[in-house]
C-alpha cells in the first residue's frame, strides 16, 4: 500500500468525528470517549441506527462487487473511507480482480493511522490513501496518490457512501460531486448513498439533532433531492432505492424499511 499526501490536521480526540462514531456503533475499536458518548446518545434516540449503518456498508460492498464482477471496473476512488472494517473495499474488488486499484480518501488523521496498519493490497493491484476533504476536490484530484494510482483513460468508480448528508447545499454539494466526476472518463460510475428522513422522520430527525450538537450538522434529503445527485447519469437497475433494496444478497440482514434512512444508487457516466 502507498500512503498518499497527508498531514493536513492533527488528531483531535476530544471531539466526536463521524468516522469514529460510525466505527463505535458498528462495534469497532478505533474510537475515543467523545465518540462513544455521541454514539450512545444517537442510538438512544433511534435504536435502529446500527441496523441502518450496517445496511449502508453492505450497499457499498455489493455495489463494488457488482462493479468488479459485472462491469469490469478495475479502478476505485472511495471518498469518506472511514476506519478499516473487513471486508474493506479493496479486499472485495481484489478478490474478484487482483489487479484492481483503490484510492481511499478521508479527512480524519486516525483513519490514516489505521490505514497504514490494515490496508494491504494484492501484489498485482495497488491501494493508496490520501488525507483530504471532499469539500476540496482539487486536493484529491491533484494528490500524488490519485495521480500515481488511477489512470484516467480507463473507467473509475467513484464511491461517495455515507458522506453526502454531511455536505450541505450551501457547500455547493452538487458542484463538489461534479468536480470529482468531470475528470473521470466516460464509462465511469458513481455509487452514492444519500441520507433521508422519509421513512422515520421523527427518529432520524432526533439523530440529526444529536449530530448537530456534536458539531456535525446533517442535510437530509427527500427522494427527489437524492435523485438530483444522479442527474445526467445512467442509473443501473433498480435505480434509486433504499440501500437494503439495491440488489440484495440472499444472506443479507433482514430489515424493515423504517429502519433505513439512506437512499442508494449506482449510475454510469455516459459516453
Look at residue 8 in the predicted model and tell me its pLDDT.
39
> What is the residue whose three cell numbers read 478495475?
74
| Total domains, the chain | 1
For residues 136 and 179, what is the distance between their CA atoms, to the nearest angstrom? Answer: 9
pLDDT tens-digit map of 91-147:
999 999 999 999 999 988 888 887 765 578 899 999 999 999 999 999 999 999 999
pLDDT tens-digit map of 80-101:
998 888 889 999 999 999 999 9
SS3 177: helix
Mean pLDDT over the full length of the chain: 92
For residues 119 and 207, what is the distance between their CA atoms, to the nearest angstrom? Answer: 31
For residues 12 and 165, what is the distance between their CA atoms, to the nearest angstrom? Answer: 22
In this predicted structure, the answer to whether residue 4 has a pLDDT above a threshold of 60 is: no
Q: What is the band of 3 on the pLDDT scale with cuts at 50, 70, 90?
A: low
Residues 6 or more apart whose CB falls under 8 angstroms from that of 205 comprise 197, 220
Read off φ and ψ for residue 113, nearest 5 degrees: -60, -45
Mean pLDDT value across residues 199-204: 93
Domain of 164, CATH number, reads: 3.40.50.150
Higher pLDDT, 4 or 20: 20
Q: How many CA atoms lie within 13 A of 108 on its CB side?
A: 24
Q: How many CA atoms lie within 13 A of 45 on its CB side?
A: 17
Grid coordinates representing 16 are: 466526536
Q: What is the band of 13 on the pLDDT scale with cuts at 50, 70, 90?
A: confident
For residue 204, give Cα distances in angstroms to 54, 55, 135, 184, 199.
16, 15, 24, 34, 9
Residue 143 structural domain: 2-268
Residues 6 or more apart whose CB falls under 8 angstroms from that of 82 comprise 19, 22, 23, 106, 111, 162
Q: How far is CA 93 from the centre of its chain?
A: 15
pLDDT tens-digit map of 225-269:
999 999 999 999 999 999 999 999 998 889 999 999 999 999 999
**Is the pTM higher than 0.85?**
yes
Mean pLDDT value across residues 28-35: 88
For residue 248, give Cα distances in angstroms to 185, 244, 257.
28, 6, 14
Grid coordinates representing 105 are: 480518501
* Burial annotation 189-213 (CB, 10 A radius, 16+ → b, else e): bbbbbbbbbbbbeebbebbbebbee
Amino acid at each position: 500500500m502507498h500512503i498518499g499526501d497527508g498531514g493536513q490536521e492533527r488528531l483531535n480526540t476530544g471531539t466526536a468525528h463521524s468516522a469514529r462514531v460510525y466505527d463505535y456503533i458498528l462495534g469497532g475499536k478505533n474510537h475515543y470517549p467523545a465518540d462513544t458518548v455521541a454514539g450512545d446518545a444517537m442510538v438512544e434516540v433511534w435504536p435502529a441506527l446500527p441496523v441502518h449503518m450496517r445496511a449502508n456498508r453492505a450497499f457499498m460492498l455489493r455495489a463494488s462487487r457488482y462493479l468488479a464482477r459485472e462491469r469490469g471496473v478495475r479502478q476505485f476512488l472511495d471518498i469518506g473511507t472511514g476506519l478499516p472494517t473487513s471486508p474493506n473495499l479493496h479486499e472485495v474488488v481484489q478478490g474478484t480482480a487482483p489487479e484492481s486499484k483503490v484510492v481511499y480518501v478521508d479527512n480524519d488523521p486516525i483513519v490514516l493511522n489505521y490505514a497504514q496498519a490494515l490496508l494491504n493490497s494484492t501484489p498485482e493491484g495497488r491501494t493508496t490513501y490520501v488525507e483530504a476533504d471532499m469539500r476540496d476536490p482539487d486536493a484529491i484530484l491533484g494528490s500524488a496518490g490519485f495521480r500515481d494510482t488511477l489512470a484516467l483513460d480507463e473507467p473509475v468508480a467513484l464511491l461517495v457512501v455515507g458522506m453526502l448528508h454531511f455536505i450541505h447545499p450551501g457547500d455547493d454539494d452538487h458542484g463538489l460531486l461534479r468536480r470529482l466526476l468531470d475528470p473521470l472518463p466516460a464509462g465511469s460510475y458513481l455509487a452514492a448513498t444519500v441520507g433521508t428522513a422519509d421513512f422515520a422522520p421523527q427518529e432520524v430527525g432526533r439523530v440529526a439533532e444529536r449530530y448537530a450538537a456534536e458539531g456535525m450538522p446533517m442535510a437530509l434529503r427527500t427522494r427527489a433531492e437524492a435523485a438530483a445527485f444522479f442527474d445526467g447519469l445512467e442509473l443501473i437497475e433498480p435505480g434509486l432505492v433504499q440501500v437494503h433494496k439495491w440488489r440484495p444478497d440472499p444472506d443479507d440482514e433482514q430489515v424493515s424499511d423504517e429502519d433505513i434512512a439512506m437512499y442508494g444508487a449506482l449510475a454510469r457516466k455516459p459516453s
